Each structure stands twice: as C-alpha cells, then as structure tokens.
Structure 1
C-alpha cells in the first residue's frame, strides 16, 4: 500500500466519521422537538433516523445513531427534552432509542424506486417499535405498552414516514 493509498483511506475514514458526527447532531436536534406524552414523548427523532439511513446508507446511518447513543450515555443532553445519561438508557424510552440502530440500518436499503423506498421506510419505522414496546412493557405491562407506546404513535408514524419519503425523493432528484 502506497502512502497515497493510506492518505486516501484516512481521508475517507475521517469524512465518514465527520458525517456520522453531523448525523448524531441532527438526531440530537430532532430529539428536542418534543410533544410531552407519557411514558414516551413524541419527537422528530424517527424522521431523522429514517433520513440518516436512507440518505447515508446502512453503515453511516447506524454509525450516526451509535454516536448519538454514546453521547447520550456519556451524559450529554442529546436525548428528548435535553436529557442524557445512563438512567435514560435504563428508563421507559430505552427500547426505542436502541431500536433506532436497526431502523437506521434498514432505512439504508431504501434504494431508488418509489415503491421500494416507501416499503423500506415504513418497515424501518415500524421496526423500532419492536424493542421499544417490548422494553416499555417491563415498566407498564403489555397492554398499556401496546397502546401508549405504539397505537398512539401510529398517526404520527404515518405522517413522518410520508415526510421522510418525500424528503428522500426530493434529495435524490437534486
């Protein structure tokens, strides 16, 4: 490997992590747009997760989410309503936060066709509810978790998925 190859790889790696850091900042900002609901607030985070994956690809989307979760675990106020710390990652919303990882990864396979993009974004959005509701059930029981942690979020999920699809299509045209 030549020094040029090494320099190109280093630059590529630096670019990847700079974009992942930018993605984590976007995710942190989206967490601050919050409607107070209990036990899980409604935020713009899932919209950001879908776009990070769909626009950046599975690796970059997941890396952005991993950085975001790491920042929050370290106590930075990046989670909803300016919270951070391990306590949040052990609380009722932890399953949703961890569900952002597979959701961003899956959204990274949205591809180019309208039908594929719509299907993948909807599946990615629904995927994050699996660990979210399962974890929440440990705090409030299955019935209440299904209602307060999934059913109440379905209208917003539909709107945010449609918005993510529209923004993805607009970004890919430009």
Structure 2
C-alpha cells in the first residue's frame, strides 16, 4: 500500500521541483535583461517574480526564488550582469534579492480572487521587495540616496511591470 501511495507523491515532488528549477532559470534569464543603473540595476526580475508567484502559486514561486538565490550563492552566474557568489548576497542589491521571497509569496495569493484583489496583491508584492531592498541599500549609500536611487527611480518601471503581470495573470485565468 505504501508503494502505491509513494509513486504519485514522488511524481508530484519531482514535478514541483522541476517547475521550481525552470522558474529559477526564468528568474536568472530575467536578471540578464538589465539597465546598468547605479547602485541597483533595473532588470526584469521583479516581473518574473510576480509571474512565478501569480501563475505557479505561493509555494512554487517561493521555491523557485529560493533555488535561484541558492544557485547564485554557490557562484553560478545567475544575478544581474552574470554575477554570482556570496559577495552579491552581501552587496548593495542583497536586500532586493531577498525581497523576492516575500514578493513571490504575496503574488501567489493573487492567483485567487477577482481582478481588484489580484491587482492590489500584485502591486503589494512588487512594493514588498523594495522594503528590504531600500533598507539594506541604505547601509551602503544612506537612507535618502537609497530612497531616491533604490525606489523612486524604479516607480515607472514598477507600474509597467505590475500591469504586465496583471494582464498575463488575467489572460491565463481565461
């Protein structure tokens, strides 16, 4: 009896981690689409994080982000500009990278509910990654500069990427 139950569980686990690995690859690819701003580059990563959570669910989105961060910590060139290694997770962008975890979880909550709830949760997810990002960056450049160079400059792109994630989620639900 246990073997009968174990096979579907093993297949489900294999499918889940396979999808999480694909999600981490999507996130790595999105990091390479980058505008080299200083001190934080503008990338498509936040859009990928929103889509991973919204389309895959909170658990899968967080798992994909966690794999991505582990891959980068091990030195794989998955971060913006092909960077990798633990130094990136101690540098100016570390707060944003870690902010992907709660952002993916919040975006995962958008999979359920009507359009207003989905839009609000996607926006909240996008903004949530800025909290640890700006706070961590402030340790490098000061709070005022972190606010301007690490948040305000990204607002137009945040609006566009959030709207894109919403449109993709709505289309996928149809």
Between the aligned partners of 2:106 and 2:63, the Cα distance in structure 1 is: 13
User: Helix, strand or coil: the match of 1:157?
Assistant: helix
Q: CA deviation at 1:112?
A: 3.6
Q: CA deviation at 1:171?
A: 1.4
CA RMSD of aligned residues (A): 0.7
Q: CA deviation at 1:54?
A: 0.4
Matched residue, 2:153:
152
- Residue correspondence of structure 1 range 127-146 to structure 2 within 5 A: 127-146=128-147
Matched residue, 2:72:
72
Matched residue, 1:97:
97
Between the aligned partners of 1:39 and 1:2, the Cα distance in structure 2 is: 54
User: Helix, strand or coil: the match of 2:109?
Assistant: coil
Hey, which bits of structure 1, 4+ residues long, moved more than 2 A? none
Between the aligned partners of 1:13 and 1:25, the Cα distance in structure 2 is: 18
Q: TM-score, normalised by structure 2?
A: 0.98
Q: CA deviation at 1:117?
A: 0.6
Q: Structure 2: give runs of 5+ residues left out of the alignment.
A: none
1:49-82 Cα distance to aligned partner (Å, 9 max, x none)? 0000001111000000000000000000000011
Q: CA deviation at 1:2?
A: 2.6
Q: TM-score, normalised by structure 1?
A: 0.98
User: Helix, strand or coil: the match of 1:86?
Assistant: coil
